[in-house]
Amino acid sequence: MKNAIILHGKPGEEEYYDPKFPSPSNFHWLPWLQKQLLVKDIKADTPEVPHAFDPRWDLWVKEVERFDINSETILVGHSCGGGFWVRYLSEHPELKVGKVILVAPSLNPEQTWGKQFFNFEIDPSLTDRVKELVIFNSTDDGEGIQESVRVIRQALPSTAYREFKNMGHFTHLSMSSAEFPELFEECLS
């Protein structure tokens, strides 16, 4: 059975603890995408990593490994969640997965947080084990994201690239919407 795992990014600590904000897995376009995939009979999960504002590799791994990951699985990661998938797949060469979509992927090149979280080498054979790897990037996102995108594309030159303008960091605020039809279409293609 085809399934999807949609992984959130790293929120700020104030946002994480503010009761006015949804949890990271229920914010931005994540719940909308989950519902759209469910309607297409694709089991879609949005894991919730505890204390996501202070990323600990072991906690992120434990959370995603609760779900089935196989050759039909679609992996979607936003920001830190996208960077997570790059490391996870680099460190698990035995895994073969379906499509991998990295939305504004972050590898934290500034090392402003979680210095050990992205202490790894990108496996150049990663793209041989996925049906397709796609990056969604907006030209007006921050320099850290632009640098992360450059690093991933250089290490994995067969990566497909979709460039957007005026989408910022692909958040509810920067997109002015909780819907992301381009991402949904990419999941299905």
Yes or no: is domain 3-188 CATH 1.20.58.220?
Answer: no
Say what the pLDDT of residue 156 is: 97
Q: What is the dihedral of CA 72, 73, 79, 81, to 10 degrees?
A: -140
Residue 127 and residue 86: Cα distance in Å, rounded? 10
Across the chain, what does the average pLDDT equal? 95
Spell out a b/e string for 51-67, using b for 16 or more CB atoms within 10 Å of the CB, else e. ebbebebeebeebbeee
Mean pLDDT of 61-88: 97
Say what the pLDDT of residue 173 is: 87
Residue 79 and residue 102: Cα distance in Å, rounded? 8
Confidence of residue 112 (pLDDT cuts 50, 70, 90): confident
CA distances to 49, 71, 77, 82, 125 from 95, in Å: 21, 8, 17, 17, 12
Mean pLDDT of 130-134: 97
The sign of the CA dihedral 106, 49, 47, 19 is negative
Q: What is the pLDDT of residues 142-177, one digit of tens each?
A: 999 999 999 999 999 999 999 999 999 999 889 988
Say what the pLDDT of residue 111 is: 75
Say what the pLDDT of residue 80 is: 95
Q: What is the pLDDT of residues 12-47, one digit of tens each?
A: 999 999 999 999 999 999 999 999 999 999 999 999
Say what the pLDDT of residue 110 is: 75
Mean pLDDT of 61-71: 96
Mean pLDDT of 125-132: 96
